[in-house]
Structure formats: structure tokens, C-alpha cells
Structure 1
């Protein structure tokens, strides 16, 4: 048993304490009474107890229980060893002793308990914990295993891994184990040979000119010699596809490519080989900026208008896409300097695609132009979408127009199949529709499963916030029965005196029962009720819904992506009013913006119609209608510029503008205003991986130490959380969490003269080193064991060998010391107040009591002996008394005889004796006999 002081520094208090005791004894030298000496000694002991208690003394008591934690690697590079690990664990645990407990934990990119602490000799059959296997974080695994042990409980961690850590610093974790008296052993497993080859590098110049020959270098590492298929693409178009012979070790292949398309070009190299272990390491990206003629993307349907030809005639490179073919990654949009939506309905653009466009404009300066038409702006369903966010106008006309009275009932499926994102988006869509309506408009909301549930009674809107809360409270229900719900919606609108009455039906399933839909809809037509339907997903009854919309004089939407539901419902709400279109011919007015006035110096043509919108606060409005509505608006959004032209390109709405001589010049000027203005190469950069983070090192060409505005965006449009800091004049460091994939970098720097320098590029964060087969890192495993006093285990039984550091638990005795000090203080106070006399009497009493206790048994025997003697004496006395009594009787009889002979004389001499006197005499007689004896 050992003693440990937690705060030994408090022992210095002994110096002043002993000094005070010394002064006390010196003071009582002249009159040193026993009481004062005892009090001085008590005070010395009291000081000693309190000071010793302050040091927090702890007694170290041995613990018999030993704890072993098995820590197994489940990363991708070690996954083939899983069966061997389980067999080894089973063999090891059979050698466990009764006082030993164990647990099993696993780790990769994270750590988890597979089997909690147990003293039974049973182990799991398989690993069930879910982990990301693309990294090996030994540091986190070791720290997690140590946390399973009880505080200050020594034990052993047995590491089963190949030791190839890709994240963290396991040596730091091992040092902490040493401080905790924890041992770390390791086991080496022989893994079977696995064929693998990987692309380790793809090099291309960061900037090229249009028509320049680009040199491409692809580096491939392989642990086997075999042929493989190599493919290289630019912006998803193949430029090379061939068989190459890959030798064991490092290989380099060089190719050339003529940069024919200006803008950002994303090169991708892909490798395919038979029997390859990992596919994760078979692709890499590289990015270059090609200088040349601006490239724009025109998105439109099947309408015919001269827009594309007009832009091409001005020298721009124009790509045309239908909305269904829009890119689904950020790279697909960044290759264009401007994106033009020409009468594109928002119901055909997913929420994710809108988000990507918004990020391209805001973060990378890509231009955006929206042109009007029957499927554009509010009529296209863009209310409260990312596209509305980046435009200089709002889709809602904010009550400026006198709209017809409107009654709208939304009928939404809430069956089990709508659970999750479907119902959430449907409720959000309904909420947007509420926001578009005026407070005097009438709204009803019905959710249905196997029967209708009226969530919002069909009535004029009074409290939009409360109605939206009710709609968002809808939960998932049971089956699907359409007809009763649709019938309920028609009944709600039937008798209302409104100019427009409309029903929107949305479902993702098929009705369990039929109904007389034809009669219901025909009756509704008589009451001016129209019906639109939305089929969501592949299980919806498209034939029925399309037929219902056709009969109800509404629109049918076939939806595969649920994210377009909000656009559909907002579009339906806007189209029902039919007042967003201003179709009275007029002459737009030109506002005092010099760059635009020159185009209209020879006059302005007549326009037939436009879509009513509201200009945002910071927007510039060069053209307005006679009702002060924006015809052309522009503003800066982030680093990009967006413009809105609310009339169309066909001439149906734009009227005389389509035949105007300056029409091509006007359209080209709109697109030119949207083009970004940035320098292609004001910075050079390199990419590194440090401590689980990706680090971008930027170096300015001019070496100026000016602040930067940096943004890093992933391929799917997520803005990364970055930390930017200067490291030297003209050099900067951008740090963000490491995750393999394609990223895009935008840098903005404002010079001392107030000019902005913009730079954009892309880069690839390569796959984790986890997917590079390196064998077992014996050197690291051995170093970890040496740091903690562990070793390599040759046999499974060694895992349960006795611990070098015997576990001990600490018991604090400070409380007992303080209790003793308190009692001693009470005794010292009593001694000073009362002196020795009460304690002397108490001591005597205690002594007497103690003596009685010691003599208790002897006294009992003596009392028994005395009682026995007394009984014997009483018997003897009775015998003597009997003899004396006999003699007295004889004498009495003689006296009676004499009295009878001489009666007169007897009367004169005999005295009368009382019984009391007789008894007294007998006592005296007995006492006399005792004295003789």
C-alpha cells in the first residue's frame, strides 16, 4: 500500500505552523503547566492534520481486475483481414483469466464499440458497427479505446491493423497512453496479395489560349504488370480512349490536345483494369482556363426565335440545351461565361440545378439573363426559388394590380408512400402558394389518404402565418383514395361567388377505389371550377391524372424529381389569376442610363406585352412600362451580373422590337453586360493535405500583401467552410476539411487603387491514401509499442499476459484527517475551558468501568460461592435453633410442674415475654454462635 500526495506544495505550510508552535512553547516557558504543554502538543498535531489534508493524500490500493481492449482496423486497406482477425480474437479470449475483462472496438474514419466490456469467454461473430472506411485514423482509434477503460485504470490495448494511418498522429495518442500507464501491443496479419493500379497524377497547364496544343501527363502506379484501358475527357466529352501497357511500379504517359473551347475546361482521366482492387483510385481531375471567345449557354424549349443566330453572328460561341438536359454539376455551368434562360419554365429545372446556377453567378461571376414569355418569371413558377434570388426582380407583383377574386383548393396525398422528402416538399409548395395569394383570396387545403382530411377550411385568408403552420403540421397517413377528396374539394368551391376557382391535385399513387370523375368535373365546369393534376413518381396513375387535367381544363405535370413541386404549385397559383401578363401595346420609357440610351437614340419601338414583376431595391431599371413596371432590369449579385427582360423573343409579346434594326445590338448588349470580368492568372496555387485538411497555397504574381476574399465550392454546389490567412508577402493559405472530389476556387482581391482582381479555377482533391496498397507499416507499429511499453504479439494467448503496471485505485483520506482535526479541536477547547479535573474524573470512571469489566467473571463466581455458603450457614442455624428450642421446651415444662405445685409463688416470680422480645433474643443467640465460629 502506497501513499500519494496530490498537492504536496501545501507542505510548505508546515514552516509557519511549526514557527507558531515554537512561539507558543517559548511563551509558556516560565509557567509551564502540564495543561499548557498538552494544549501545545494538541495544536501541533492539529496543524499537521489540516496541512496534510490540504495535500489531498491518497492511499493506492491494488486492483485485481485487469482490462484488455482489442482495437481492430476496419479501413479499406485492411478489409480482407476481417475473418483472420475474428479467428484470432476467439483464440485469444479462450486464454482469459477470471479476473480479466475485455472489450472489442473498431476504427477507420471514426471509432465505435463492437463488444462492450465483458468477463465471459465469448466474442462476436462479425463486425456490425458502421464506419467510413476511406481513411485510417489511428490516433482517434487509440484515444477511443483508452476512453473505454475506467479513469486511472491501467490496462492494455491490443492493436490489430496494418499501421497505414492516413489521418491524425498516432504517436501523440501513444504518448498519452504512456502517461496513463496503458500498454499497447500490436499484431501483424499477413494479407493476401491484391492486384491494384491507380492514377497518381494528371498534369495540364493551368491556362491555355484557344487553339493552343496542351500537353497532358498521366502517372499510373501499379503492383502488377498488365494492360489497362485509359480514357481522358474534357467537359464530359472523350478526347482519348486507348489500351496501355502498365508495368509494375510508376508509369508515365503523355498526350496532346488542342484547346478548342474557351472557358474553364475540366479534364478527367479514368483507368479500368481487370481484377483491380479499388475503383476509388482510378480517376483524377485537372482544370485549365482557356482564353478566347466567350462561351454562352442558351436554355430554351422547342420555340423558334432568332436569339441563338443573333448571338452567334456577334462572334459568341453558343451552346443550346433544352431544360431537361441542363448540367447536374457545378463544372457543367462554369464552362460558360453566361447562362440565358429563354422562356424556360421553372417546373422543368430541379432545385439542385437552380442552386448550382446561383452559386456559379454569386461565387464565380458567371452571368445570367432571364428572358420573358408565357413560361417565364412568375408564370414559370420561380417564386421563392434560387433563380428569383439572383435576379434583379421579384416574381410577386406585390398587390399593385387589381386581380380577379380567386378561390384555390390544394389537394395533396399524405399516404405512406409520400413519407420523407415528398411530403415535405409538397407542404413547402403549398406554403409558397399561400404567400402568393392576397388576404382577400380564398384558400382550402385537403390532405388525403384513405379518406379526406380538411386541414384548412375553404375561406378567405385572414392569417397567412397560421394557415402555413397548419399546412406544415400535416403528417403521413395510410392508403390512397383520390375520389372522395376531389369530390370534397369541388363541394368546397361549388357555391362560392368568385371569378376564378381552381383545384390542384397532387398524388404519387393509384387510388384504391374508383368514382364518377367525369360527372364530378362536368358539374364543376358549370360552376367555373378548373383542375390541374401532378403525378409524382413512377407509381402514380398517369393516365387517370392526365385525363382529369384534360377534362378539368387545367394542366398535367409529370414529375420525376420532387424538388420541382414548389415551382409547379407557385406557377399554378400565378397562372390561375392570369393577370401577371400585361398585354396592352405601349412604348417603354428609357431611364437615364447612358450605356443604354445610345441604343435608343433613334427612337424606341412599340411593345405588345410583358410579365409584371417588381424591381428589387438595389436594381437598376433602364426600361420601364407606362405602369412603371420593369421591362429591363440589371444588378450585381455576388461577383456576377444578372439581367431580366420581361418581354419575349418571338415578336408575339415584343411586337415591333423583333423587326427593329437595333434588335440584334440590343440583345448582344444584354449578354455582354452579363459577361464576367476577371483575370485568368493573377495567382499560382498548389494543393497539399495536412492533418486531415486540404490546404491551398496561393501566391500572387505581383507579390502584394493585400487581403483576399476566397470561396471554395464543391462539385455539387456546397460552399466549403474555409479558413484563409496570409503566410508571407503575396502568399496565402486556404484551409478546408479534406474530402476527395472536384472543387472550384474563386479569389477576389481589391488593389490599393480600388480595382478588383478576380481569379477562378478548379482543382481536384485526390482520393485518400487508404486506396494505395502499401503493406504493413511495421516501423510505426513497433514505435507505438515501444512508446507505451508494449510489444508485438506472436501468439494469441499473449494478449492476456499479466500487466507490467499493476492497476491500483486511489482512496482519498482527506475527509478522515479533517474529521480527526475537528475532534482534536473540540478536545483542545474543552481542555482549555475545563482543565484536567473533569477529564481526570472521567478517566477514573472509565478506568473503574474497565476494571469492573475485567473482574466481571470473577465477581460472578465469588457471588455464587458466597450465596452457597450463606445457604449452608442458614441450614446450620436452623439446626441449632431447633436444638435450643427443644431445651427451652424442657425447661418450660419443668417450670409448669413447679407452678402447679406452688402456684402462688409462680405468679410472683415469672414475668410475661412478648413475641418481639423472643425474636430479638433468637437473633442475638445466632450472632453469638457465628462469632464463636
Structure 2
């Protein structure tokens, strides 16, 4: 057992403390003061020693071992080897030894906590991200498990191929804590593998140019492979090649026939390939030429594609069901046109991708009206409504017919999770679309109906929404009784429109006469729409109910469209969003459209009522001041809402107007983005788990830039942008392989805005490059800590070179002793030594009673005592009369007769005691 002082420099305070005590004892030389001085010396020394934080070092029994197992993809087939090593090592441990197991990849997790038992796990149970190997973070994590003041050992089972961090820095920290690091070499058996290490195309090209495509393949064996090249997800080239061992470079060419952003994807396919993760790469090029637009056509949408093609634009026409599901599917287009497209067939994710393309990359957007567009299409509170210059709700309208709406929603156990949450959100949106004069009811059902919101006038929207959102999943499914309840609650109400929406994902356990129920409801002007969710729902029944109930049937496979369906149904129930009285649009002052309106405009038949947003411009409005055409800037993109249609059914004479093609062309071209194509040279590097994107401009100006980086899924990536040199910028982002899109915006000194957009790919991790084992790194980091390579399992629990101690602070005990001595010193100063110890002596002495008292004769001449003190009666020698009285009372203690000298000495002691008390 040893002693350690944490702050030894504080011990120098003893010197001034002893000096103060010396001055005190020098001034007072009595024995009592010497004792006080000694006590104060002890108090000062103990207190200063306590402040220096002394600690008793108790040797630690046994060894603390952390097995750190690499489970990254480069050693993905070595789990059994690692577990076998650990099991054999544990069999050789002593009683006081303890161990824990940690697994690692990109991050580290605990598989088994510290234990002294001789049992370990038989298999790894945690999920590890094996795309990277972070030895630095894993070693630090493992060291945090070892008690802070104790030593120990970390045994690393790995191939040493580090892809993130710097393990040497972690090893230095282990050395400071006297923790040893050993390693056990894990290695894969030979595997055939080839990897695509480079895909290169020119960053900018012109339409019609021959693109020179270069691929580099590294292989550890010789065999055939197929090379496949795609542009914007369309395969354009396939070739089988003979791949030699080592590095292989292949050149291809392809004539670019479409302008816009071109996303190139290179792939290699080979038999018995160890890693498929390293078989593909992306790169991006901007192709200059004629703009390309995407037209999404719904029902009764007309043929605007021929008009746009005639104007020189490149046009792709698709149905809404074929919309892309990744961001790269939208960026090749300069503008997107929704022509009478319902929101009920578009997922929430697809809408978010379109919104990102418009906001961050300047893609234009046009929505045209029709019976399945705007509010009638279910776009209320969707990302599409967010980017448009109009709101789908009709604000401030009082002439809408009275409406009674009852939502009957399945809350059975199968609805638990995302389906139920989206259904509740959908119902909440419907509430927001209703007016306070409207009637709302909400019934949730499982094996019986539950009234959540009683059918009645909607007085408190917030309260109704709270009740709907509070619904939780229940038991089985029984539809008929709930539907019957909804009909009964609506049938006697005097309303112009009565509508029921039934939403379920299952089949009813029991049934009734749905036909008679619906027929009786139709007599009371009640309509019914149904929503089938998932594959387990009774589609045939629900479709039949909607047909009989004069409503609509929705077959939902993506639950994210449920909110759009319910909002569409709520709007359709009013049937007043369509303004179908012929009118002449009113032309507002707008120079951008004056060339079309010099001689007036034709008559229109109908449009969908919307409300323009505050910043929107409305070149054409109706006689009711509703927007017929509205436009605004949304982020980087320009969007337009045309609330009539392109088919001619609603636009009327406009579709037969000689300027109709010019109007359509101008409508679309106003949304085309204006930006530069290649003002920067882009390059990528990796550093400590991050990707560094370097932008180097040709002008070498130092103006600040605004950057946005999105993943292929449309997720915004957090980026740190800084200027490192004139015209050179660095963007730091997390290192995660994949395709990314970059938007750069810069404002010059004149106030002009320049926009640049491109894409780049972060290549796969070095984890998927077969580089063998990195034994040199393992040797280097173990040498720093004094560890070694282990080849025998019994060495795992060997005694460490340095003894580990547990530190036990004793400052609190010293402070306790200081308080005891301090109170003892106060007692001595208060009562004095003689009085304190004299009292103890008297109390301990037995009482002595004399048998015969001899009275001394008084002196013939009284002694003269010179003193300034007054003589009391006690100081006068007793007379014979007094002595006689004392003889009569022998039981009392007889006071000893004192001489004059004794009395004088007594008086002096009294005076000294009084002086001490007055102090």
C-alpha cells in the first residue's frame, strides 16, 4: 500500500502556517499556551494535507481485459475465429480477472459487459455498420469501460485496415492511462474480387457531342467481366471484357442526345466476386442544349406535349404512377408540368423530391386545373401546395353549401403503426378544411364502434383534432355496425351535403345488409366513399360499397397518400370548388404577359377556386377575384398555377385562340431556370471520416457562396462551407458513399445572382478494397502502449507490466480529525488547563472525613497584608464561636484554615481567571 498526493504544491503552505504558530507561542510562554500552539500546528498540518488530496493506493487484484473484435466488412467471415479465441482465453483466466467484449465497425458497441464469470457469448448479437473501420473510436470506447484510475488491457482482433480516424492518437491516450494494447491478427482467406475504382466523363458537354467515358478496374485475378453504362437510369452500353490481374483501363464513347444534367452510372458484373459494394460508381455531367421538360398527364388532359415540341422543347410524357422515386429522376428536366394529376396516386416522398428539385435546383413547375387537380385532387397541406403560388383552401368563402361529414376509421390491431398515424393525420387535415358551420363526426372501430367526436356542428376545431389524434389501436374488425351508426347520425340532419368516408385495412368479422343500408341513406342524400389499405382489406366489398353509395373507391398500397385522399374527399363533398359559369378573365398590370393581351382575351368556361398567396403575382383573375393564373419564385425555382385546364373543357375559347400555343409556350418557358453550367472545378478528398468537396472557380473572387447538398433520396445534407483561398471553397460533409447533388448560389457586387448546379459521387469505402492485412499499423500502435501480438490464448490474461492501483482519498478523514482537534483547542482556551483537569481530579478523589479536628491557635499579632483588594468575610480567620458551630455539624466538609500568604495567592489566581474570562 502506497500514498499519493494529488496536489503536492499545496504542502508548501505548511511553512507560513508554522511561522504564525511560532509567533503565537513566542508571545505567550505559559504551559497552557504551548499546548494550544501544538494543537494549532497539528490542525494546520492536517488541513493543508487534506487540501493536497492524499490518496491511499490499493493494488488491484486480477486483470481487466477488453476484447475488441473487428466486424467490419473486410473481415466479415471471421466471427467464429474471434469467438473461439475469446472462449479459449477465458478458460485460462484466474478468479479475480474480469473481461468484457466489444464489437466494432464504423461505431463500437458492447456485446458483453464486464464480468468475472468464465462464460462468454456464443454468437454476436449486435448490428454493426461494417462499411468502415474506425479503430480510433473503438479503442477509445473500449478504454472507457476500464475503471478510470485502474489499468488494464485491450486485445484487438482485427486485420488492421483502418478507414476512419487515427488509431495512433488513441494508442497514445492508452499509454497515459497505463493500458496495454495487444492484437490478434484476423485475416480473410483468398477471395476473388474486382472493383471499379474510377469512372470519368467530361463535366460539361454539348448536345450531340461524343462523350468520352473512362473506367478503371482493379482486380486480384484474371477473368471475364461485363461492363454496363447507364445514363439517367437508361442503359446505353454493355460490353464483355477480359480483365487482367492488376489495373485495367477501358475507354468508351457515347453520343449525347439529351440536354440537362446527365447522371452516368458504371457497373461491372463478374462471377465469384467477393464484394458487390465496389462494383458501381456514379458521375455527373451537364449537357448544354435544348431544354427538356417533363409532362405528367392525368385524365382529360389534352395534348400540350405536341405544342411544346413544336416550340422546340424536348418533352417526356408519363403518367403519375411512373413518377421517379429518386431525386436524380427529376434533375435532368428544366421544368415539370402537372396536367390534371390527382395527389391520391403520388406518394409523399415523390412530392418531397419535386419540392426539393424546385427549391434547391431551380427546376420549374406548372400545375394546370381539371377535376382531379388543386383542391379537388387532394393537394391540401402537401409539399406540392407548399411550392405553388396558391392555397388549395378557399379562404373567406361564405356561400359554400352546408356539409355533414362522418369519418369511419379502422383502429384494429393491424392498423397499428404508420397506417394509423397517417389515417389520423388525414382526418385532422379534413377538419381544417371544414368551416365552423359544417357538421363533423368521427367513429373509430375495432370489434365495435367507438364515438370519438360526436356528430354535430364543428365549434372547436382544435378540440376535435386532439380527440382524433388520441385514438389508439384496438382489437378485431367489425365494419357494419360502425357504418350503420354513421348513417343514423346523418340521416335526420338538414344539410345540403352529407358524406361518409370509410377507411379500413381488414375484413369484417360479421356483416349485415349493406345494400338496404346504403339505399336508405341515398334517400336521405347521403353518399359514401371507401378507402382500402393494404393487401388484407376486402377490396371487392369496399369497391362495391363506394359504387352503391355514389362515391369513390381508393385502393391504397402506399399509406402516405391517405391524407391526400381524405382531403380530396372533403373538398369533393362540397362540390363548390369548381366555378363553372363562363367568364372573361380580368387582365392585371403585368408587363411579362402584355404581348398576349393587347387585343383582349377569349372567354373561359370554368376554373378551380383557390386563394393566391401573399407574395404571388396574378396576371389573370376571375370576376370573383380568384386567381386564374398565379406565379411566384419558390427558392431557386419559378412556379405557376393555371386554375383552368389544358384540354379545352374548362378553358373554353382559350383552347381555340390563335395565341393558345404561344400562351402555353410562354407559360412553360417562364419556369425554365437561369444558371451557369460550369463556373467551378470540383474535386473530392476524404479526411478523418469526412468528405471534403473542393470548388475552384476561374474568376478567383472571394465573394461568399451559399451551398445546398442533397442526397439522391432528397435528404438535405449538413455542409460546412469555408473560403480557403481566392476563388477556392471547401465543403465538409459526412463521409457516406452515394450520389449527391450540389447547388451553389453567389451574389456579385452588382447584386446579380449566379447559380451553379451539378452532382458528384462519394465513392465506396476503402473497406471494400482487398488490401490484405495491415500488420505494420497493428505493430506500431501496440508498441506505443507496450503491448504485443498474441499467438497463444493463455497470454490474454497475463500479468500487466505495470501494477494497477485503486485510489482511495482520505481527505474527509483528515478533515474530521481537524474538527475534533479544533473543538478540543476551543475547550482549553475557554476553561483553562488547571480548571479543566483539576475538576477531573477532584471528581475522581474519594471524600475524607477527619475524626478529630485540631484547631490551630490564632497568631498573637495579625499579619499585615498590603493589597488593593477588599477583604471579604471569607478571608477573615474564624473565631472560636464559628469553630464551635462547625463542630456541631461534623458531616459537612471542614474548610482548611488558610494563612495570609495563602489568601493572597488565592486572590491573585482569581484576578488572573477574571482577566482570561474578559478576553
1:114 is aligned to 111
What corresponds to 2:10 in structure 1?
10
What is aligned with 2:235? 238
One of 284, 288, 293 as aligned partner of 2:285? 288
Aligned CA distance change for structure 1 residues 833 and 628 (closer, same or farther; 3 Å): closer
CA distance in 2, matches of 1:682, 1:664: 35
Q: Deviations 1:604-647 (Å, cap 9, x if unpaired)?
A: 11111111000000000000111100001000000100001111
Matched, 1:264 2:297: no
Deviation at 1:22, TM superposition (A): 4.0
**Structural mapping, 1:224-373, within 5 Å:** 224-303=221-300, 305-373=302-370
Measure how far apart 1:836 and its partner are.
Answer: 4.1
Question: TM-score of the superposition, structure 1-length normalised?
Answer: 0.89
Cα distance between partner residues in 1 of 2:346 and 2:821: 86
Q: Which residue of 208, 212, 221 maps to 2:209?
A: 212
Tell me whether 1:618 sits opposite 2:592 in the alignment: no
Runs of 4+ in 1 over 6 A off after TM superposition: 842-849
Q: Which residue of 2 aligns with 1:745?
A: 742
Shift of 1:835: 4.4
The alignment partner of 2:650 has SS state of coil
**What is the distance in 2 between the residues matched to 1:560 and 1:350?**
10
Partner residue of 2:166?
A: 169
Output the CA distance in 1 between the equivalents of 2:130 and 2:186. Answer: 18
User: What's 1:185 paired with?
Assistant: 182
Find the aligned partners of 1:412 and 1:569 in 2 and give their Cα distance.
11
Counterpart in the other structure of 1:685: 682
Contact preservation (8 Å) 2:391, 2:612: yes
Q: Distance in 2 between matches of 1:351 and 1:519?
A: 38
Residue matched to 1:713: 710
Structure 1 counterpart of 2:98: 101
| Secondary structure, aligned partner of 1:115 | strand
Partner of 1:875: none
Show the counterpart of 2:41.
Answer: 44
- Give unpaired runs (5+ residues) of structure 1: 850-933
Mapped partners of 1:632, 1:254: distance in 2: 51
Per-residue CA shift, 1:835-885, capped at 9, x if unaligned? 443566589799999xxxxxxxxxxxxxxxxxxxxxxxxxxxxxxxxxxxx
Quote how far apart the aligned CAs of 1:9 are. Answer: 2.2
Offset of 1:562 from its aligned partner?
Answer: 1.0
Aligned residue for 1:533? 530
Single out whichever of 702-711 and 148-157 deviates more from structure 2. 148-157
Give the drift of 1:832: 4.0
Q: Is the 8 A contact 1:682 1:757 kept in 2?
A: no
Pair 321,159 (structure 1): closer, same or farther in 2 beyond 3 Å: same
**8 Å contact kept, 1:377–1:611:** yes
Question: Which stretch of the first structure deviates more once superposed, 773-782 or 314-323?
Answer: 773-782
**2:636 alignment counterpart:** 639
Q: Distance in 2 between matches of 1:766 and 1:731?
A: 22
Alignment correspondent of 2:913: none
Give matches, 1:580-595, under 5 Å: 580-595=577-592
Which residue is 2:754 aligned to?
757
Distance 1:417 1:823, change over 3 A: closer
Judged with a 3 Å threshold, the aligned counterparts in structure 2 of structure 1 residues 842 and 274 are, in CA distance, closer, same or farther, namely: farther
Equivalence for 1:899: none
Distance 2:765 2:181 in 1: 26
Alpha-carbon shift at residue 335 of structure 1 (Å): 0.5
Tell me if 1:418 matches 2:410.
Answer: no
**Among 652, 672, 676, which residue is 2:673 paired with?**
676
Match of 1:125 among 122, 128, 142: 122
Residues 751 and 34 (structure 1 numbering): CA distance in 2 closer, same or farther, change over 3 Å?
Answer: same
Counterpart CA distance in 1 for 2:702 and 2:844 is 93
Aligned counterparts of 1:536 and 1:819: Cα–Cα separation in 2: 73
Deviation of the 1:173 alpha carbon: 1.7
> Aligned residue for 2:548?
551
Aligned length, in residue pairs: 846
In the TM superposition, what is the alpha-carbon distance from 1:825 to its structure 2 partner?
2.9
Which residue in 1 is equivalent to 2:19?
A: 19
1:181 Cα deviation from its structure 2 partner: 1.5
Once the two structures are superposed, the pairs formed by residues 369-388 of structure 1 within 5 Å of their partners are 369-388=366-385
- The answer to whether the 8 Å contact 2:410/2:444 transfers is yes
Distance 1:304 1:616 in 2: 26
What SS class does the counterpart of residue 302 from structure 2 fall into? coil
Match of 2:806 in 1: 809
* CA-based RMSD: 1.8
Change (3 A) 1:809 1:526: same
Deviation at 1:799, TM superposition (A): 0.3
Report the CA distance between 1:25 and its aligned residue: 4.9
Moved more, 264-273 or 105-114: 105-114
SS at structure 1 position matched to 2:601: coil
* Alignment match of 2:481 (pick from 481, 484, 509): 484
Question: Per the alignment, in what secondary structure is the counterpart of residue 598 of structure 1?
Answer: helix
Match for residue 504 of structure 1 among 501, 509, 534: 501
Q: Is the 8 A contact 1:399 1:438 kept in 2?
A: no
Q: For the residues of structure 2 that align with 1:2 and 1:365, how far apart are their CA atoms? A: 72
1:230, 1:243 within 8 Å by CA — same for their partners in 2?
A: yes
1:879-890 → structure 2 map (5 Å cutoff) = none
More helix, by proportion: 1
How big is the shift at 1:400?
A: 1.9
- Tell me the SS of whatever aligns to 1:805: coil
Distance in 2 separating the partners of 1:168 and 1:315: 53
* Local SS of the residue matching 1:749: strand
Quick check: 2:301–2:645 contact (8 Å CA) kept in 1?
Answer: no
The answer on 1:153 being equivalent to 2:150 is yes
- 1:311 deviates by 0.5
- For residue 926 of structure 1, what is the aligned residue in structure 2? none
> TM-score, structure 2 length as denominator?
0.90
* Change beyond 3 A, Cα 1:306–1:826: closer
Is the 2:90–2:118 Cα contact (8 Å) retained in structure 1? yes
Flag structure 2 segments of 5+ consecutive residues without an equivalent: 847-919
Name the SS of the counterpart of 2:717 in structure 1.
coil
Instruction: Give the Cα–Cα distance (whole angstroms) in 2 for the partners of residues 466 and 304 of structure 1.
Output: 41
Looking at structure 1, the residues matched to 33 and 509 of structure 2 have their Cα atoms a distance apart, in angstroms, of 103
Distance 2:797 2:559 in 1: 57
Equivalent residue, structure 2, for 1:726: 723
* Structure 2 match to 1:443: 440
TM-fit CA distance, 1:553: 1.0
Per-residue deviation, 1:762: 0.6
Q: Is the 8 A contact 2:364 2:671 kept in 1?
A: yes
1:343 Cα deviation after fit: 0.7
- Structure 2: distance between partners of 1:570 and 1:245: 58
- The answer as to whether partners of 2:75 and 2:186 remain within 8 angstroms in 1 is no
Residue 914 of structure 1 corresponds to none
Determine the C-alpha separation between the residues in 2 that align with 1:426 and 1:373.
Answer: 26
Residues 1:785 and 2:782 aligned together? yes
Q: Secondary structure at the match of 2:799?
A: coil
Aligned residue for 1:368, secondary structure, equals strand
2:817 aligns with: 820
CA contact (8 A) 1:619 1:635 kept: yes
Mapped to 2, the partners of 1:556 and 1:432 lie a distance apart of 19
Alignment partner, residue 514 of structure 1: 511
Do 2:301 and 2:646's aligned partners in 1 also have CA atoms closer than 8 Å? no
- Cα distance, 1:349 vs structure 2: 1.1
Match of residue 141, structure 1, among 131, 138, 143:
138
- The DSSP-based 3-state class of the residue aligned with 1:686 is strand
Would the alpha carbon gap of residues 190 and 662 (structure 1) be closer, same or farther in structure 2, given more than 3 Å must change? closer
Q: Distance in 2 between matches of 1:829 and 1:422?
A: 78
2:54 aligned with 1:57 = yes
Query: Which shifted more, 827-836 or 538-547?
Result: 827-836
